[in-house]
Amino acid sequence: MKPLLDLQLATQASETCPSRQQLQDWVQLALLESTPAECEVTVRLVDEDESRMLNLTYRGKDKPTNVLSFPFDDPIDLPAEGELSLLGDLVICAPLVSLEAEQQDKPLQHHWAHLVIHGLLHLQGLDHENAQEAEAMEALETRLLATLGIPDPYTSPAIHHQQQVD
């Protein structure tokens, strides 16, 4: 069974956004073995104002950011036939994704795939707070992206983790 994707389009740049099917495929690819396949993820595609407001509210940074991850951690009692693991929400700033892809001279869809996968890994508890965590997370992202034919997003010397995914 595939994860349930709740897609919310709240951007004026929807023409630059991936299709629902692409998002679904990337979400499914990024699910770790420990995560139930029957899970729900909300992906909200926004503009700079909403991204900046959320980044300020939840991270104390007064600027838009490419992706924010909000893991769901409150248990819900549902009847057995209605069991669904709520994984969390991803908020992705569509105009910023386009700008970064252009600045980094990479195909737009490659950058989208990377950010969706990166955000999904955060929803599942992976992080990059220290060098060891960052190395492990980047290696996993690189392996997953390679299955899509997307080159390692971290190989360019001009791209550092904090610039790439803030």
> Which token pair is 148?
């899509």
Beta pairing, strands 39-46 & 4-10: parallel
- Cβ-Cβ contacts under 8 Å for 139 (sequence gap 6 or more): none
Q: Each residue of 86-111: pLDDT tens digit?
A: 899 999 999 999 999 999 999 999 99
* Contact present, 134 and 123 (Cβ < 8 Å): no
pLDDT at residue 36, as a whole number: 85
Distances (CA, A) of 8 to 16, 44, 133: 14, 4, 30
Instruction: Write down the domain spans for the chain.
Output: 4-164
Distance CA 97, CA 103 (A): 10
pLDDT at residue 74, as a whole number: 62
Domain covering 4-164 in this structure, CATH number: 3.40.390.30
pLDDT at residue 164, as a whole number: 44
149: left (phi over 0), alpha (psi -120 to 50) or beta: left
19-28, 59-68, 148-157: least confidently modelled range: 148-157
Q: Each residue of 71-83: pLDDT tens digit?
A: 997 655 555 555 5
pTM comes to 0.88
- Give the bridge partners for 70, in sequence order: 89
